[in-house]
Amino acid sequence: MTLKAHILLGAPGSGKGTQAKRLVDTFALTHLSTGDILRDAVSKGTEIGLKAKAIMAEGKLVDDDTVNGLVFARLLDETRDVLFDGYPRTLQQAKALEDFLSSKGLELGMVVNVDVPQDVLEARVVGRRVCSNNACGAIYHLASKPPKQSGICDLCGSPLKHRSDDTAEAFRSRMGEFNSTFQPLLGFYRTRPTFRSVDGHRAPELVFDSLRQIFGARA
Ligand SMILES: [Zn+2]
């Protein structure tokens, strides 16, 4: 049987990571996130892993070619179908993956975008409040998970704070940057026959039902 590489796409905050974990458990896939692959290669001390480590030590983003090299090495070790989460991140990575798969006789599987409107993502971020006591770190949301007493942590009684990363301005700036690489990537995959989009603005259980149907029906 030909190994297939499935891909889950989505913006930060779309709930993609949670859904990926459930999918790999349900369908016996190998979960491959770029972060895990990087950490794994660094800890094994492979040549490309050491290169990635040096780049990260300088506080830089690991370049596409290095990420691709790490991912491809991992893919060749796999015996089960894989689910990528956070890879490909750029159009260059997507094209390189396609070339790699066809050169090895592997197949692109399902490519599923967990679609959440940007204003919904913004509301999720902007309503977030965190406990100011670092040892506690409890997270609340003004709409979906309010504290019992306004502005006070239920667990430790410390004041809640609104992080500077969680303001609308910070969110819009991050999303602008994200979309400049994500939209071309999405455009590339939209034309593929195995591309699907699911409505991610629903309860996680319902989003997972849609994903289960898509992955359950895959050839
Ligand atoms: Zn607390």
55-96 confidence digits (pLDDT tens): 888 888 889 999 999 999 999 989 999 999 999 999 999 999
* Rounded distance from Cα 170 to ligand 1 centre (Å): 24
Q: Considering just the CA atoms, what is the radius of gyration of the chain in Å?
A: 19
* Rounded distance from Cα 131 to ligand 1 centre (Å): 5
* Structure confidence by residue, pLDDT tens digits, 193-205: 999 999 999 999 9
Q: Are 164 and 52 in contact (CB under 8 A)?
A: no
* Structure confidence by residue, pLDDT tens digits, 39-58: 888 888 888 888 888 888 88
Q: Which fold has domain 4-117+180-216?
A: Rossmann fold (3.40.50)
- Cis ω before 88 (30° cut-off from 0): yes
- Give residues whose Cβ lies within 5 Å of ion ligand 1: 131, 133, 136, 138, 153, 155-156, 158
Enumerate residues 6+ apart whose C-beta is below 8 A from 126. 166, 167, 168, 171
Query: For the whole model, what pTM was predicted?
Result: 0.87
Residue 39 catalytic?
Answer: no
* Rounded distance from Cα 165 to ligand 1 centre (Å): 19
Beta-carbon neighbour count of residue 38 at 10 Å? Answer: 20
